[in-house]
Chain A
Amino acid sequence: MEKEYWKWPESKWLSSEINWKEGEVISAGVDVGSVSTQAVVMTDGRIYCYSNMRTGSSSPDSAQKAMNWALEGTGLNLENIHYIIGTGYGRVNVPFAHKTLTEIACHARGANFMYGPSVRTILDMGGQDCKAIRCDEKGKVTNFLMNDKCAAGTGRGMEVFADLLAIPIEDIGEMSFNIDEEPEPVSSTCVIFAKSEAVGLLREGWQKEKVIAAYCLAMAHRVVELLERIGIEKDFAITGGIAKNIGIVKRIENELGIKALTPTYDTQIAGALGAALFAKALYEKEKKGKVKNF
Protein backbone atom coordinates (compact mmCIF):
# COMPACT_ATOMS: atom_id res chain seq x y z
CA MET A 1 0.00 0.00 0.00
CA GLU A 2 1.35 3.38 -0.91
CA LYS A 3 1.58 5.88 1.90
CA GLU A 4 -1.18 8.48 1.75
CA TYR A 5 0.43 11.86 1.84
CA TRP A 6 -1.92 14.48 0.48
CA LYS A 7 -4.76 13.77 2.80
CA TRP A 8 -5.79 16.08 5.57
CA PRO A 9 -7.56 14.80 8.68
CA GLU A 10 -11.27 14.11 8.36
CA SER A 11 -13.59 16.41 10.28
CA LYS A 12 -17.22 16.84 11.25
CA TRP A 13 -19.20 19.70 12.74
CA LEU A 14 -22.74 20.14 14.09
CA SER A 15 -24.40 23.38 15.17
CA SER A 16 -25.49 23.45 18.78
CA GLU A 17 -27.93 26.31 18.19
CA ILE A 18 -30.06 25.06 15.35
CA ASN A 19 -32.99 22.66 15.58
CA TRP A 20 -33.58 21.37 12.07
CA LYS A 21 -37.25 20.68 12.82
CA GLU A 22 -37.86 24.42 13.02
CA GLY A 23 -36.26 25.00 9.64
CA GLU A 24 -38.46 25.88 6.68
CA VAL A 25 -36.03 25.01 3.90
CA ILE A 26 -33.44 22.30 4.45
CA SER A 27 -30.86 22.21 1.69
CA ALA A 28 -27.66 20.28 1.19
CA GLY A 29 -24.58 20.24 -0.99
CA VAL A 30 -22.14 17.42 -1.65
CA ASP A 31 -18.73 18.06 -3.19
CA VAL A 32 -17.05 14.87 -4.34
CA GLY A 33 -13.43 15.75 -5.01
CA SER A 34 -10.61 13.57 -6.26
CA VAL A 35 -9.15 13.27 -2.78
CA SER A 36 -11.81 14.38 -0.29
CA THR A 37 -15.59 14.62 -0.17
CA GLN A 38 -17.65 17.11 1.80
CA ALA A 39 -21.32 17.29 2.69
CA VAL A 40 -22.93 20.46 4.08
CA VAL A 41 -26.52 20.68 5.33
CA MET A 42 -28.18 24.06 5.86
CA THR A 43 -31.44 25.10 7.41
CA ASP A 44 -32.81 28.35 6.03
CA GLY A 45 -29.40 29.40 4.80
CA ARG A 46 -27.51 28.73 8.03
CA ILE A 47 -24.97 25.92 8.33
CA TYR A 48 -26.49 23.12 10.36
CA CYS A 49 -23.85 20.43 10.00
CA TYR A 50 -21.02 19.31 7.75
CA SER A 51 -18.53 16.53 7.23
CA ASN A 52 -15.23 16.34 5.39
CA MET A 53 -13.91 12.89 4.57
CA ARG A 54 -11.72 11.04 2.14
CA THR A 55 -13.00 10.03 -1.25
CA GLY A 56 -13.10 6.27 -1.71
CA SER A 57 -12.76 4.37 -4.95
CA SER A 58 -16.41 4.93 -5.84
CA SER A 59 -17.93 8.42 -6.12
CA PRO A 60 -21.54 7.43 -5.28
CA ASP A 61 -20.40 5.60 -2.15
CA SER A 62 -18.23 8.51 -1.08
CA ALA A 63 -21.13 10.94 -1.49
CA GLN A 64 -23.41 8.66 0.50
CA LYS A 65 -20.87 8.16 3.28
CA ALA A 66 -20.09 11.85 3.66
CA MET A 67 -23.82 12.60 3.84
CA ASN A 68 -24.46 9.85 6.38
CA TRP A 69 -21.62 11.06 8.55
CA ALA A 70 -22.81 14.67 8.47
CA LEU A 71 -26.34 13.57 9.43
CA GLU A 72 -25.21 11.11 12.08
CA GLY A 73 -26.82 11.81 15.44
CA THR A 74 -29.08 14.58 14.15
CA GLY A 75 -32.24 12.55 13.56
CA LEU A 76 -32.38 14.19 10.15
CA ASN A 77 -32.79 11.88 7.14
CA LEU A 78 -32.10 12.29 3.47
CA GLU A 79 -35.89 12.39 2.88
CA ASN A 80 -36.22 15.47 5.09
CA ILE A 81 -33.89 17.47 2.88
CA HIS A 82 -35.78 19.52 0.33
CA TYR A 83 -33.09 19.97 -2.26
CA ILE A 84 -29.60 18.54 -2.75
CA ILE A 85 -26.95 19.66 -5.22
CA GLY A 86 -23.90 17.66 -6.19
CA THR A 87 -20.68 19.24 -7.37
CA GLY A 88 -16.99 18.51 -7.79
CA TYR A 89 -14.89 16.10 -9.73
CA GLY A 90 -17.38 13.28 -9.25
CA ARG A 91 -20.48 15.46 -9.48
CA VAL A 92 -22.19 13.27 -11.99
CA ASN A 93 -22.08 10.47 -9.47
CA VAL A 94 -24.11 11.81 -6.58
CA PRO A 95 -27.11 9.47 -6.79
CA PHE A 96 -29.43 11.36 -4.44
CA ALA A 97 -28.79 14.87 -5.83
CA HIS A 98 -31.60 16.80 -7.53
CA LYS A 99 -29.16 18.67 -9.72
CA THR A 100 -25.46 19.04 -10.34
CA LEU A 101 -23.51 22.27 -10.74
CA THR A 102 -19.91 23.12 -11.58
CA GLU A 103 -17.32 23.54 -8.84
CA ILE A 104 -16.61 27.05 -10.08
CA ALA A 105 -20.12 28.33 -9.39
CA CYS A 106 -20.29 26.51 -6.05
CA HIS A 107 -16.89 27.67 -4.82
CA ALA A 108 -17.61 31.30 -5.56
CA ARG A 109 -20.94 31.09 -3.79
CA GLY A 110 -19.48 29.21 -0.84
CA ALA A 111 -16.53 31.58 -0.44
CA ASN A 112 -18.93 34.51 -0.53
CA PHE A 113 -20.74 32.98 2.46
CA MET A 114 -17.59 31.89 4.32
CA TYR A 115 -15.57 35.06 3.95
CA GLY A 116 -18.31 37.61 3.46
CA PRO A 117 -19.45 39.65 0.43
CA SER A 118 -16.16 41.57 0.17
CA VAL A 119 -14.42 38.56 -1.41
CA ARG A 120 -13.51 39.25 -5.04
CA THR A 121 -10.81 36.71 -5.84
CA ILE A 122 -10.75 33.06 -4.83
CA LEU A 123 -8.00 30.56 -5.33
CA ASP A 124 -8.94 26.94 -4.83
CA MET A 125 -6.19 24.39 -4.99
CA GLY A 126 -7.51 20.88 -4.83
CA GLY A 127 -6.02 17.45 -5.08
CA GLN A 128 -6.09 17.36 -8.87
CA ASP A 129 -6.98 20.84 -10.02
CA CYS A 130 -6.48 24.51 -9.46
CA LYS A 131 -9.23 27.10 -9.80
CA ALA A 132 -8.90 30.86 -9.97
CA ILE A 133 -12.20 32.69 -9.66
CA ARG A 134 -13.32 36.31 -9.62
CA CYS A 135 -16.78 37.10 -8.27
CA ASP A 136 -19.04 39.99 -7.41
CA GLU A 137 -20.54 40.90 -4.04
CA LYS A 138 -23.25 38.28 -4.47
CA GLY A 139 -20.80 35.49 -5.11
CA LYS A 140 -21.64 35.39 -8.81
CA VAL A 141 -18.70 34.39 -11.01
CA THR A 142 -17.35 37.17 -13.24
CA ASN A 143 -14.15 35.54 -14.54
CA PHE A 144 -12.71 32.12 -13.96
CA LEU A 145 -10.34 29.45 -15.03
CA MET A 146 -9.81 25.92 -13.91
CA ASN A 147 -6.69 23.93 -14.61
CA ASP A 148 -7.20 20.23 -14.21
CA LYS A 149 -5.04 19.20 -17.14
CA CYS A 150 -1.64 19.68 -15.60
CA ALA A 151 -0.49 18.40 -12.20
CA ALA A 152 1.75 21.39 -11.52
CA GLY A 153 0.04 23.66 -9.02
CA THR A 154 -2.21 20.94 -7.62
CA GLY A 155 -2.07 18.81 -4.51
CA ARG A 156 -0.99 15.89 -6.67
CA GLY A 157 2.13 17.78 -7.73
CA MET A 158 3.06 18.33 -4.10
CA GLU A 159 2.34 14.67 -3.39
CA VAL A 160 4.91 13.64 -5.98
CA PHE A 161 7.48 15.73 -4.13
CA ALA A 162 6.42 14.45 -0.71
CA ASP A 163 6.90 10.94 -2.10
CA LEU A 164 10.27 11.73 -3.61
CA LEU A 165 11.61 13.23 -0.40
CA ALA A 166 9.66 10.89 1.92
CA ILE A 167 8.19 13.75 3.96
CA PRO A 168 4.63 13.57 5.37
CA ILE A 169 2.52 16.21 3.65
CA GLU A 170 1.43 17.93 6.88
CA ASP A 171 5.06 18.70 7.68
CA ILE A 172 5.94 20.24 4.34
CA GLY A 173 4.69 23.73 5.15
CA GLU A 174 6.70 24.10 8.35
CA MET A 175 9.74 22.33 6.94
CA SER A 176 9.92 24.61 3.93
CA PHE A 177 10.76 27.53 6.26
CA ASN A 178 13.54 25.63 7.95
CA ILE A 179 16.15 27.22 5.67
CA ASP A 180 18.71 30.04 5.86
CA GLU A 181 17.39 31.92 2.87
CA GLU A 182 14.86 31.39 0.12
CA PRO A 183 16.38 29.43 -2.79
CA GLU A 184 15.62 30.01 -6.45
CA PRO A 185 12.36 28.29 -7.40
CA VAL A 186 12.53 24.99 -9.29
CA SER A 187 12.65 26.09 -12.93
CA SER A 188 10.61 23.37 -14.64
CA THR A 189 6.85 23.76 -14.50
CA CYS A 190 6.07 20.18 -15.49
CA VAL A 191 6.07 17.96 -12.39
CA ILE A 192 7.90 15.17 -14.19
CA PHE A 193 10.71 17.52 -15.21
CA ALA A 194 10.72 19.30 -11.85
CA LYS A 195 11.18 15.95 -10.19
CA SER A 196 14.35 15.18 -12.15
CA GLU A 197 15.52 18.71 -11.43
CA ALA A 198 15.01 18.06 -7.71
CA VAL A 199 16.95 14.79 -7.90
CA GLY A 200 19.80 16.79 -9.45
CA LEU A 201 19.65 19.35 -6.63
CA LEU A 202 19.76 16.62 -3.99
CA ARG A 203 22.83 15.19 -5.71
CA GLU A 204 24.43 18.60 -5.55
CA GLY A 205 24.03 18.33 -1.79
CA TRP A 206 20.92 20.46 -1.22
CA GLN A 207 19.03 19.79 2.02
CA LYS A 208 15.52 18.36 1.67
CA GLU A 209 14.14 21.51 3.30
CA LYS A 210 15.74 23.68 0.65
CA VAL A 211 14.41 21.50 -2.18
CA ILE A 212 10.92 21.66 -0.70
CA ALA A 213 11.19 25.43 -0.35
CA ALA A 214 12.25 25.66 -4.00
CA TYR A 215 9.21 23.65 -5.03
CA CYS A 216 6.77 25.56 -2.80
CA LEU A 217 8.08 28.75 -4.41
CA ALA A 218 7.62 27.34 -7.90
CA MET A 219 4.09 26.25 -7.06
CA ALA A 220 3.23 29.64 -5.55
CA HIS A 221 4.64 31.36 -8.59
CA ARG A 222 2.60 29.21 -10.90
CA VAL A 223 -0.74 29.81 -9.20
CA VAL A 224 -0.01 33.53 -9.01
CA GLU A 225 0.43 33.46 -12.80
CA LEU A 226 -2.98 31.85 -13.12
CA LEU A 227 -4.48 34.45 -10.79
CA GLU A 228 -2.92 37.23 -12.84
CA ARG A 229 -4.65 35.89 -15.91
CA ILE A 230 -8.06 36.60 -14.36
CA GLY A 231 -6.83 39.65 -12.43
CA ILE A 232 -6.49 39.92 -8.66
CA GLU A 233 -8.75 42.15 -6.64
CA LYS A 234 -9.11 42.32 -2.87
CA ASP A 235 -10.43 40.68 -0.81
CA PHE A 236 -8.60 37.51 -1.61
CA ALA A 237 -9.30 34.05 -0.18
CA ILE A 238 -7.69 30.65 -0.55
CA THR A 239 -9.84 27.53 -0.23
CA GLY A 240 -9.25 23.80 -0.62
CA GLY A 241 -6.67 21.53 0.93
CA ILE A 242 -3.74 23.72 -0.06
CA ALA A 243 -5.01 26.53 2.19
CA LYS A 244 -3.77 24.32 5.01
CA ASN A 245 -0.20 24.30 3.67
CA ILE A 246 1.45 27.36 5.18
CA GLY A 247 4.57 26.89 3.05
CA ILE A 248 2.57 27.70 -0.06
CA VAL A 249 0.04 30.16 1.38
CA LYS A 250 2.77 32.43 2.82
CA ARG A 251 4.68 32.40 -0.44
CA ILE A 252 1.58 33.20 -2.48
CA GLU A 253 0.86 36.11 -0.14
CA ASN A 254 4.44 37.32 -0.49
CA GLU A 255 4.34 37.25 -4.23
CA LEU A 256 0.95 38.96 -4.42
CA GLY A 257 1.67 41.43 -1.65
CA ILE A 258 -1.84 40.67 -0.35
CA LYS A 259 -2.82 38.70 2.72
CA ALA A 260 -5.43 36.02 2.25
CA LEU A 261 -8.53 36.22 4.44
CA THR A 262 -8.56 34.00 7.52
CA PRO A 263 -11.13 31.23 7.25
CA THR A 264 -13.86 30.73 9.81
CA TYR A 265 -14.76 27.23 8.68
CA ASP A 266 -12.80 24.28 7.30
CA THR A 267 -11.43 25.66 4.00
CA GLN A 268 -12.32 22.45 2.22
CA ILE A 269 -16.10 22.84 2.56
CA ALA A 270 -16.43 25.90 0.28
CA GLY A 271 -17.70 23.89 -2.67
CA ALA A 272 -20.28 21.86 -0.74
CA LEU A 273 -21.40 24.99 1.09
CA GLY A 274 -21.96 26.83 -2.18
CA ALA A 275 -23.90 23.85 -3.49
CA ALA A 276 -26.15 23.90 -0.40
CA LEU A 277 -26.77 27.63 -0.89
CA PHE A 278 -27.71 27.08 -4.55
CA ALA A 279 -29.92 24.20 -3.45
CA LYS A 280 -31.91 26.54 -1.26
CA ALA A 281 -32.20 29.18 -4.00
CA LEU A 282 -33.24 26.66 -6.65
CA TYR A 283 -35.76 25.02 -4.33
CA GLU A 284 -37.37 28.38 -3.63
CA LYS A 285 -37.40 29.23 -7.33
CA GLU A 286 -39.08 25.92 -8.18
CA LYS A 287 -41.65 26.39 -5.45
CA LYS A 288 -42.54 29.84 -6.73
CA GLY A 289 -42.81 28.45 -10.23
CA LYS A 290 -45.28 25.81 -9.06
CA VAL A 291 -47.38 28.32 -7.18
CA LYS A 292 -47.63 30.40 -10.34
CA ASN A 293 -48.62 27.38 -12.38
CA PHE A 294 -51.56 26.55 -10.17
Chain B
Amino acid sequence: MIANYGYKDGSGEYFISIDNDKCDGCGDCVKFCPYNVLEVGEDENDPFREVFVARVREEHRKKIKYSCAPCKPVRGRVELPCVAACKPLAISHSW
Protein backbone atom coordinates (compact mmCIF):
# COMPACT_ATOMS: atom_id res chain seq x y z
CA MET B 1 0.00 0.00 0.00
CA ILE B 2 1.18 3.50 -0.76
CA ALA B 3 0.27 5.97 1.94
CA ASN B 4 0.31 9.64 0.94
CA TYR B 5 0.57 11.78 4.05
CA GLY B 6 0.11 15.49 3.57
CA TYR B 7 -2.11 17.69 1.46
CA LYS B 8 -2.54 19.87 -1.54
CA ASP B 9 -3.37 23.51 -1.01
CA GLY B 10 -3.36 26.62 -3.18
CA SER B 11 0.43 26.82 -3.11
CA GLY B 12 1.20 23.28 -4.19
CA GLU B 13 1.23 19.58 -3.37
CA TYR B 14 2.94 18.51 -0.20
CA PHE B 15 2.98 14.78 0.28
CA ILE B 16 5.30 12.34 1.94
CA SER B 17 4.62 8.99 0.31
CA ILE B 18 5.51 5.84 2.19
CA ASP B 19 5.36 2.54 0.36
CA ASN B 20 4.19 0.22 3.11
CA ASP B 21 4.99 -2.85 1.04
CA LYS B 22 8.64 -1.82 1.03
CA CYS B 23 8.79 -0.36 4.54
CA ASP B 24 10.04 -2.87 7.11
CA GLY B 25 9.42 -0.65 10.11
CA CYS B 26 13.14 -0.40 10.99
CA GLY B 27 12.73 3.18 12.21
CA ASP B 28 15.92 4.61 10.69
CA CYS B 29 13.92 7.46 9.14
CA VAL B 30 12.55 8.35 12.58
CA LYS B 31 16.07 8.55 13.99
CA PHE B 32 17.36 10.75 11.19
CA CYS B 33 14.44 13.19 10.94
CA PRO B 34 15.61 16.31 12.81
CA TYR B 35 12.08 17.61 13.31
CA ASN B 36 10.36 14.54 14.67
CA VAL B 37 7.94 14.29 11.76
CA LEU B 38 7.98 10.50 11.46
CA GLU B 39 7.10 7.60 13.74
CA VAL B 40 6.77 3.83 13.57
CA GLY B 41 3.53 2.13 14.50
CA GLU B 42 0.61 -0.02 13.45
CA ASP B 43 -0.49 0.22 9.86
CA GLU B 44 -3.52 2.40 10.50
CA ASN B 45 -5.21 1.53 7.26
CA ASP B 46 -4.77 -2.21 7.35
CA PRO B 47 -6.04 -3.55 10.68
CA PHE B 48 -4.95 -7.09 9.85
CA ARG B 49 -1.34 -6.31 9.12
CA GLU B 50 1.03 -7.46 11.86
CA VAL B 51 4.21 -5.62 10.84
CA PHE B 52 4.75 -2.05 12.04
CA VAL B 53 5.36 0.67 9.46
CA ALA B 54 6.68 4.23 9.30
CA ARG B 55 4.03 6.97 9.38
CA VAL B 56 3.93 10.74 9.46
CA ARG B 57 2.91 11.87 12.93
CA GLU B 58 -0.68 13.04 13.12
CA GLU B 59 0.26 16.57 14.26
CA HIS B 60 2.44 17.13 11.20
CA ARG B 61 0.06 15.86 8.54
CA LYS B 62 -1.58 19.23 8.03
CA LYS B 63 1.63 21.22 7.92
CA ILE B 64 4.44 19.22 6.39
CA LYS B 65 5.18 22.09 4.02
CA TYR B 66 6.29 23.93 7.14
CA SER B 67 7.57 21.05 9.28
CA CYS B 68 9.87 19.85 6.51
CA ALA B 69 10.89 23.33 5.35
CA PRO B 70 14.27 23.46 7.15
CA CYS B 71 15.40 20.30 5.29
CA LYS B 72 14.47 21.87 1.96
CA PRO B 73 16.62 24.95 1.40
CA VAL B 74 15.74 26.92 -1.74
CA ARG B 75 19.32 26.75 -2.91
CA GLY B 76 21.77 23.87 -2.78
CA ARG B 77 19.27 21.05 -2.23
CA VAL B 78 20.72 18.06 -0.47
CA GLU B 79 19.27 14.61 -0.16
CA LEU B 80 16.65 14.59 2.57
CA PRO B 81 17.77 12.83 5.76
CA CYS B 82 14.67 10.61 5.89
CA VAL B 83 14.99 9.55 2.26
CA ALA B 84 18.73 8.95 2.63
CA ALA B 85 18.22 6.86 5.76
CA CYS B 86 15.61 4.56 4.22
CA LYS B 87 17.40 1.42 3.02
CA PRO B 88 14.37 -0.19 1.36
CA LEU B 89 13.71 3.08 -0.54
CA ALA B 90 10.17 3.40 0.73
CA ILE B 91 10.00 7.17 1.30
CA SER B 92 9.55 9.92 -1.25
CA HIS B 93 8.51 13.57 -1.10
CA SER B 94 6.36 15.29 -3.69
CA TRP B 95 7.84 18.77 -3.56
Query: Do A and B touch each other in the complex, judged by CB within 8 A?
Result: yes
Contacts from A to B (Cβ < 8 Å): 99, 101-102, 104-105, 140-145, 147-150, 152, 188-190, 193, 222, 225-226, 229-230, 278, 281-282, 285
Q: Are A101 and B47 in contact (CB under 8 A)?
A: yes
In chain B, what residue has the closest Cβ to A278? B47
Once the chains are docked, how many angstroms separate the CA of A149 from the CA of B58? 12
Q: Which DSSP category, helix, strand, loop or mixed, fits chain A's interface?
A: mixed
Q: Are A150 and B1 in contact (CB under 8 A)?
A: no
* One of B6-14, B29-37, B76-84, B85-93 contacting the partner: B6-14
**B contact residues, total (Cβ < 8 Å):** 21
Task: Give 6 new A-B contacts, CB below 8 A, not counting A148-B62, A193-B10, A230-B4.
Answer: A105-B44, A140-B46, A149-B7, A152-B9, A229-B8, A278-B47
Which chain A residues lie closer than 8 Å to B9 at the CB level? Answer: 149-150, 152, 189-190
Once the chains are docked, how many angstroms separate the CA of A140 from the CA of B1? 9
Once the chains are docked, how many angstroms separate the CA of A9 from the CA of B73? 49
Q: Tell which of A105, A141, A150, A190 touches B7, judged by Cβ atoms closer than 8 Å.
A: A150
Q: Which of B34-56 contact A (CB under 8 A)?
A: 44-48
20 A-B pairs whose Cβ atoms sit less than 8 Å apart in the complex: A99-B47, A101-B44, A105-B46, A140-B1, A140-B46, A141-B1, A142-B1, A143-B4, A144-B2, A144-B45, A145-B5, A147-B8, A149-B7, A149-B9, A152-B9, A190-B10, A225-B8, A229-B15, A282-B47, A285-B48
Which chain A residues lie closer than 8 Å to B7 at the CB level? Answer: 147-150
Which chain B residues lie closer than 8 Å to A144 at the CB level? Answer: 1-4, 45
